[in-house]
Structures are given as structure tokens and as C-alpha cells.
Chains A and B, each alone.
Chain A
Amino acid sequence: MAFDLGSVLVQAFSPFNLLLALLGVVLGTIIGALPGLSATMAIAVLVPFTFAMDPASGLIMLGAIYTGAIYGGAYAAILVNTPGTPSAIATTFDGFPMAKRGDGDLAMTLATLASVVGGVIGAIALMTLSPLLANIALAFQSSEYFWLAILGLTLIASLSTGNVIKGLIGGAFGLILSMIGVAVVGGDVRFTFGSSALLGGIDIVSALIGLYCIPVLIDLVARPDRHLEPAPLGRGFRFFEALGLCAKNTVNLVRSSAIGTLIGILPGAGGSIASLVSYSEARRSSRHPERFGKGEPGGLLATESANNATVGGGFIPTLVLGIPGTPPDAVILGALLVQGIRTGPELFTQQSGIVYIFMFGLLIATLMMLPVGLLIGRYAYRFIVNTPKSLLVPLIAFMTVVGSFAIHSNPHDVVVMVLMGVLGWLLSLGGFGPSPIVLGLVLGQIAEQGFIRAYMIGGARDNFGGQLLFDRPISWAIVALIVITLGLPLLRLLRARSGNGKEAQP
């Protein structure tokens, strides 16, 4: 059954649905901006309300909440140096330095514009290329997921600390933290030291909040100076300045959005790796790579466009294959099933009308992010700048405690959050950043599952090497990227040394 574009547009653009999309974006942005309160939680809480609505309206609202919450994650990353989700880790690299030097207003506007561009490109890809791109997700098997996780770790090691060895050490430590609890394959209880509270492992969001927020709090109370430099009055949104920067970074924006869409298709690993790959690519192709990590707008544009593009990309396997790529996708998949929509290859022929209304709703919500984000972002920045430390410290501390408790309503998660925070602070004294540890924790289970499955399949075929690497062209390509990622810093170091040596020669 072909869908009628006219009726789809009439339904998607009805005043009620536009209002729901606006409400969804506002709620999603606010919830996503609070550390610990995730897109999954926002969608899960609001799903029951959508059951009373007609399917199209309900799905438009859920899509709007999701896209708003992913964008909202940039607020905490830019203003408090705390990524709300793993996909916003790279946003802290340049977003927070910009805010710290007084360009927080520009950073917020850039993040909004980049999120809109990324979200629109992801939504268009979802509408036009879904069945084709779903094949990419199917081409990835266990060994590719293993190598992809290793690629993510090598990227973060080379990006986040400027010291690849320390980054790799942090990543390996994160992998070890991910092994705590019941083993994903084999079912052994590992590294719990007899504590039943550790059976379920270390929650990623608790660890993320602790590793990023506690060191921020410790630094906040240590010095009387301002947390962020205030922006001079009368600069407004700095919209046209941001637009100019976007125009200069057009290739960067489009490339990062395409990377976000493509990697976002891969279930589980998508969001966090996509923003790192796009950031790495933006730095590699920049004329001023040395500015990255110090408040370079190009870095912020790359990560924010990529992580919002993963929203559209993530829906591709959800809708075409019925495989949710992320926890919010899984909740929306559940809502689709309750509304009587069966996902799978026939979805685009048998129930195309409702699916395209949902996709157009996602597009509308993404566009609504521009006015909503500019407005909320401006006031969020002013609020954080003008709030005295004596109120900012209890505010952030309270959000970390309730945020980590809210994940599973489990006090144990709060203890884990605080302990991880103390550990993260101590390790930061030795120059070990939190990003590789968090990413190791995020990607640990994906890497282990991929590795063990490849081992088992390879063992059954008596060809482990072939299954893991040699017979798999995609694995070869990812391994080549890993070698380049690790080799480039070494090459730069050798070049710098030989340059110094030549200069020193008489």
C-alpha cells in the first residue's frame, strides 16, 4: 500500500501534533539537560500518556522527547563539563573550554544549530534510505562489533588526553570495570568480592555522573573564582556569528552528520562512537588541529551534529529490522507494538502512512529544536553563570544524587557514583582522564560479546583467526582505522623530534 504524501503532511502538521512536538522537545530538552535523567526515562514515563492519543500523535510526541533529550545532553556537557549521556562525551572537549572563557552563549547556539543540522540529515536518511542502510547493520557481525569497540577505545585514547598510553590504560581499566558482575558469556560471577550489590555490575550512567561531576564539584569549592566567565551584555544569541561559523564548517557538519547516521545504525555502539569518530575526523581535516580540545567551534559542531544524527540512524534498524539500537529506541519500539504497528521489512509497504507521519514528526521536532534550544540554552547559560557557587554546588550535588538514584531506584548506584567520582578525581591527578574509562565501561560488554562469539563461531569452524579478522573485509577496514589512529600520534611525535633535532643542529 503506497502512502499518500498529502494526507501524511496534513496529519503531521496538524496544530495538535505541532503542539505535541513542541511540548515533547521542551520536556526532552529539560530532562536531557539534567545529569542522570535520560531520554529513556523521559520516554518511559510519558509512554502511558500516549496510549490514550491516536497513534500518530503519540509517536510524534515520543520522537520529539527523544530528539530533545539527546540535544539537552549538550547543556550539562558545555556548562558543567558533565556529559548527560556517553554520546555527549566529546562535547565536553571543546564546549566546556568555550563556556569557561566566556563564549558559553556562542557554544550553546552552535550546539543548537549543529544538533538541528544533524537531526535533519538523520531524519531525511531515515525517510529515504532506511531499507538500504538497514543492510549495513546486518553486515556487522560479532567480530566487527569487537573491532568497533576497540576502535572507539583507541579513538578516545588518542583524543581525550593527548597521551595515548594513558588513554589506553584508562580504556583498559574501563573494560575491567565492565566485567564486574555476572559474565555476559559463561555466567561466571566476576570481581564482586562477595557483594550481592555488585552482581548487576556497575551502572554506566552512575559511573559517568560520578567520574565527571564529582571532580567538577571538587574544583568548584576549591577556588573563589567564577565557574564560567560571563558573556558581555548585549551579545544576544550570537546567532549570525554562529551561522557564519557553521557556513565555514559546512563540510564538517555534513560529514559528521553522515558519520552519525551511518554509525548510529549499529545497535548498542552507535551514539558514543559516532561522535568520537566525527570529532576525530574534524580534527584530522582541520587546518588548526592544535586548537581542538581548547574551545574550537569545529569540534563542538562535529560532535553535536553527529550525536543528533544518530537519532534518525538508530531508528533505521528499529523500524526496518525490529532491532532497537538504543534503550530509548527499545521503549519506542514497545510503544509502536502497543499501537498495533508491526516493525519489519513489510512496515514500509503495509503501514507506511503511520510510519511516515512518525518520520515527519521527527523532522518537525528537530526543526523546533532551533527556537526552543536557542531560548532555553540562553537562559540555562545565564542561570549557570549568575548562580553563586554556594547555590551551584548543592544544586549539582543534589542532581548527581537523585539522578544516579533514579536510574534503578537503588541506593547502591549512588554509592557507586560517589566512589567512582573519588576514584576519577584521584586518577585525574595522575593525568588519567575520565572519558576513556567511561567509554571502556560502555563498550566493554559489546567488545566481550563480540570477541567470545567470534571465538565460539571460529572454534566451531576451526578457523578463529578467519572469523575474527582474516575472512572479514569490514573487520580489516576497522583494524586499519585502529592502526592509523594509534600510528598517527606516534608519527607526529617522531616528526616533531626529528624537526627539533634538525633545528638543534648547527
Chain B
Amino acid sequence: MNAGRDIAGIVGSVFFFLVGAAVFAMSFEMTPLAAMFPRTVGAALALLAAFYVFAAMRGYRGEAVENGSTVGDQAEGLGRRIVLLATMIGWALLFPVIGMFVTSLAACAILMFTGLFERLSPGRLAIQLGAVLALVICFYLLMNSVLNIPMPRGILF
């Protein structure tokens, strides 16, 4: 029977139960008006999550319609996924310090190799790197010069 249980859903619900309970508890440190909504929603979240855990333990699982991934799918390409996440986190943290252009160029080059599945000839590789460079320059200019959104220049550029 265990094979049919929604273990990932149960783990997620336990997380939501803890969030709901924490919000409910923290609402007691707020003024009455500000506490009313968090207290209600926190309690509702904890109750719903507890209900789902109870139902899932008894074998209930809903059918996912939305286009989400499943735990089984995630075993595929795990290394690439981790590289992508690390690149995105590094990019988000470093671009105000180093500069938008340089970090974007580096991140886009890493992501290009992460999304590359076939062996390319040096010529095609150069073309793709050129396309990445053009992409970064175009968007940088669009933001900085056309839409007048100042891009962080940081230490480098």
C-alpha cells in the first residue's frame, strides 16, 4: 500500500503545517487588527495541511493537472539542474556587487553550456557564444538606454 501513498505530498504538507503553526503563534505578538488575518489564515493552513497528511496516510491522492514535475522525473539531469540553480543564485547575489553586464555574460555562458546536449564544432560553438554575447548586449542596451532602467555597474561593469 505504501507505493500508492503521496509521500512527497505528505512532506510538503508537513512543511505547510509548520508554516501555518508558526504564523498562528507569531500572530500573538501583533496588535489585534494586524493579527486577525494571519491568525485565521495560519490556522486554516495548518488545519488543511494536517487534513491532507491524514487523508494521504489513508491512501488519498489527487490527480495533478498542472504541468509540474514529479519526484521520479527529477532524477534525470540532476547535475545540470544543480548547476542551473547554483548559477541563478550566484547571479542574483553577485550582480549588484560585480556589475550586471559581466555577471550576466558569465552566467549566460555557463547556462549555455548547461543547456548543451550535443558536441559542437569549434565554429558552431563560437557562433553560439557570439549569440549569447549579442543577447546580453541587446538586453542590456534595451534596459539601460531605451527603457531608462539603470543597470548596476558594480566593481567591473
Contact B84 A217 (CB under 8 A): yes
Q: Given A162-B64, A391-B131, A429-B8, answer yes or no on A451-B84 (Cβ-Cβ < 8 Å).
A: no
Contact B81 A221 (CB under 8 A): yes
List B30-51 residues whose CB lies under 8 Å from chain A: 30-31, 33-38, 41-42, 44-45, 48-49, 51
Residues on the A chain within 8 Å of B45, using CB: 169, 172-173, 176
Contact B147 A45 (CB under 8 A): yes
Contact B65 A161 (CB under 8 A): yes
Contact with B along A370-408 (1 / 0, CB 8 A): 000000000000000000111111110111011001100
Size category of the A interface is 35 or more
Contact with A along B56-88 (1 / 0, CB 8 A): 000001111111111101101110110111011
Residues on the B chain within 8 Å of A24, using CB: none
Give, as a whole number of angstroms, the nearest-CB distance from B119 to chain A: 12
Residues on the B chain within 8 Å of A448, using CB: 37
Give, as a whole number of angstroms, the nearest-CB distance from B141 to chain A: 11
Cβ of A215 under 8 Å from chain B: yes
Give, as a whole number of angstroms, the nearest-CB distance from B92 to chain A: 4
Q: Given A190-B34, A222-B80, A390-B112, answer yes or no on A176-B23 (Cβ-Cβ < 8 Å).
A: yes
List A161-184 residues whose CB lies under 8 Å from chain B: 161-166, 168-169, 172-173, 175-176, 179, 183
Contact A401 B95 (CB under 8 A): yes
Contact A429 B148 (CB under 8 A): no
Expressed in whole angstroms, the Cα–Cα distance for A190 and B39 within the complex equals: 12
Give, as a whole number of angstroms, the nearest-CB distance from B135 to chain A: 6
Residues on the B chain within 8 Å of A161, using CB: 62, 64-66
Contact B31 A188 (CB under 8 A): yes
Select one of B8, B66, B112 contacting A430, CB under 8 A: B8
Cβ of A455 under 8 Å from chain B: yes
Residue ID in chain A nearest B118 by CB atoms: A224
Cβ of B107 under 8 Å from chain A: yes
Contact A431 B84 (CB under 8 A): no
Residues on the A chain within 8 Å of B151, using CB: 402, 405
Expressed in whole angstroms, the Cα–Cα distance for A209 and B85 within the complex equals: 15
B interface residues (Cβ-Cβ under 8 A, vs A):
6, 8-13, 16, 19-20, 23, 26, 30-31, 33-38, 41-42, 44-45, 48-49, 51-52, 55, 61-71, 73-74, 76-78, 80-81, 83-85, 87-89, 91-93, 95-96, 100, 104, 107-109, 111-118, 128, 131-132, 135-136, 139, 143, 147-152
A-B residue pairs in contact (CB < 8 Å), sample of 14: A163-B62, A186-B30, A221-B114, A389-B115, A394-B109, A394-B112, A405-B151, A425-B69, A429-B68, A429-B70, A430-B6, A431-B61, A431-B68, A433-B64
A interface residues (Cβ-Cβ under 8 A, vs B):
37, 41, 45, 81, 92-93, 96-97, 160-166, 168-169, 172-173, 175-176, 179, 183, 185-188, 190-191, 214-215, 217-224, 293-294, 388-395, 397-399, 401-402, 405-406, 409, 411, 414-415, 417-418, 421-422, 425, 427-435, 447-448, 451-452, 455-456
